[in-house]
Amino acid sequence: MIKDLWYKNAVIYNLSVGSFMDANGDGIGDFQGLQRRLDYLQGLGVTCLWLGPFQPSPMRDHGYDVADYYNVDPRYGTLGDFVEFSHACKQRGIRVIIDLVVNHTSDQHPWFQAARKDPESPYRDWYVWSDKKPADAHQGVVFPGVQKTTWSWDKEARAYYFHRFYDFQPDLNTANPEVQAELLKVMGFWIELGVSGFRMDAVPFVIATKGPEVKKPKQQFDMLRTFREFVQWRCGDAVLLAEANVLPTVDQEYFGDDGDRMQMVFNFQVNQNLFYALASADTRPLAKALEVTRVPRPSTNQWGLFLRNHDELDLGRLTEAQRKRVFDAFGPDKDMQLYDRGIRRRLAPMLHGDRRWLELAYSLLFTLPGTPVLRYGDEIGMGDDLSLPERECARTPMQWSDEPQGGFTKADDPVLPVISGGAFGYERINAAHQRREPTALLNWTERIIRMRKECPEIGWGDFQVLPTGSNAVLAIRYDWRNNSVLVVHNFDDRPHEVALAVDGEGKSPRLVNLLAEDHNDPEEDGRHRLVLEPYGYRWYRLGGLDYLLRRTEGPVGGAKRS
């Protein structure tokens, strides 16, 4: 494909260095350990790694409290280790994007320490201060039930400082041109060390106006164009992936009407409605979410699709009734819920370890419009440890084998406890066992990833939700360069029969099943009749497997329907 649009048909794998593989036996994952597992990731089919924060940090928020943007935390290794890792990825054709956490710093960052000590310090205006506590200080907290205010008193500065997140994470004054210039230096630094882009954390807060006088923050979208221009000047195929949980009426602002801001944005609207569909077997809200986030956009833009990530499953965009339905299905106990809006569990225990349900969910991840983003350990169905606080329960070490500590470390005291015992303990769920079992989830995931890469229509093409006559069954047709793919999913725990007019004109071609041998020919009325088992799914190619010969050269965007 086209080099600078590599992300359109990528498979992104998200991991935390500290939780993946420990090479030196201190109980904490490191870059040397991660480098030694690259062959595993390459074999799985991963084309891009997204690394969580690994810069020096007090680690009060899993590294999202950064204390030095220009280094590697000694627990994970050195800058030299990072460069060796980056080079090893390049050798294997795997790109690397890293978290860019620039809405706030740690309160231990030298910038904040200088700012609090001296009102005349050049760093004072790098943060947001107020002599008096604003009246709305208790509004807009990100972590309800844990965080009580967005303004905290600093004894040394003798002033209140603004923090959208925890009180140990003071917000940077991102409207300050000097701060913006420094952030560009940070991006330039890591690009020179081999990264292919950044997952930008909390983008709506980064670009929002901040200050005690700000009652209704305005979004400074031009800042996004500045970031985009810089990374592409430094590296033409670098990508920016935005974490922006915003309404569909606003998301186009993050892409830019001319596609000149973020190349990629996570599709939270689809994610939340997908879990409602999984809980209720009602695909109508999901189909609507697909349509409202479909607004025609430049071909350089792409959605990031995900099931679970390192945070809670945020359900804040659902109605109260919909949210209750998801809670009842996947997080019924109070200790499974978080911040009054989400579920903190991993995917496999949420779906009760049901292999049929898991395959359905992953099939959707790889066939909904956009680029799939897979969380580490989900390929083997890892569980969670609800005894750990907040989001830490879903950040436990990778389970490599049935050796002590799951093969993650030789230490007796890992950074977080490895899940042991029960249905999801490392003794039963581990990569070594599953790679030897042909029907295991790991090998199924590898095959599904390979097939996803062979269906660029999903990443590049236009799509249409087809009527199925059943609220429980979702059918999507993709078209790109004279080729078409059809994917059908049954969200129900009972079988459904559907009749599809695949081309809308009653002259349907043969449907070639890409995952099994049961191909489907149209009946006399031109419709295809399919019987889907509980949680069943089908991937079809329209016509025959000579599609490569029929693929046309043409514009890189969505193709004209045929």
Task: Show the DSSP H helices in 404-560 as ranges.
Answer: 431-436, 441-453, 456-460, 547-550
Strand 371-375 and strand 302-306: the pairing is: parallel
Q: Which of 201, 253, 311, 312 is catalytic?
A: 201
Residue in this structure with the two tokens 């807060």, named with its chain if needed: 205
Phi, psi of 6 (to 5 degrees): -60, -30
Of 100, 115, 98, which Cα lies nearest the Cα of 12?
98
Question: How many angstroms separate the CA atoms of 450 and 454, rounded?
Answer: 7
For the record, the structure tokens of 387 come out as 């005894």
Residue 65 corresponds to which tokens in the numbers above?
């409290």
The alpha helices in 103-166, defined as continuous H runs, are 110-117
| 226 within 8 A of 261, measured Cβ to Cβ | no
Cα(256)–Cα(259) distance, rounded to whole angstroms? 5
Spatial contact of 361 and 305, defined as CB atoms under 8 Å apart: no
Helix ranges restricted to H, 72-220: 79-91, 110-117, 177-192, 203-206
Q: Which residues contact 549 (CB under 8 A, 6 or more apart)?
A: none
Amino acid at 119: P
CA distance 445 to 359: 9
Structure tokens at 210: 């901040």
Give me the helices (H) in 331-429, please.
Answer: 347-350, 355-365
Active site residue 182: no
243 is catalytic: yes
523 and 548 in contact (C-beta within 8 Å)?
A: no
Q: What does the alpha-carbon distance between residue 5 and residue 104 come to, in Å, rounded to a whole number?
A: 30
Backbone angles phi, psi at 527, to 5 degrees: -90, 155
| DSSP for residue 551 | P
Give a three-class secondary structure readout of 15-33: ECHHHHCCCCCCCCCCHHH
CB-based contact 28:76 (threshold 8 Å): yes
Burial of 340 (0-12, 13-18, 19+ CB in 10 A): exposed
The residue from 22, 99, 243, 312 that is catalytic is 243
Q: What amino acid positions are annotated as catalytic residues?
A: 201, 243
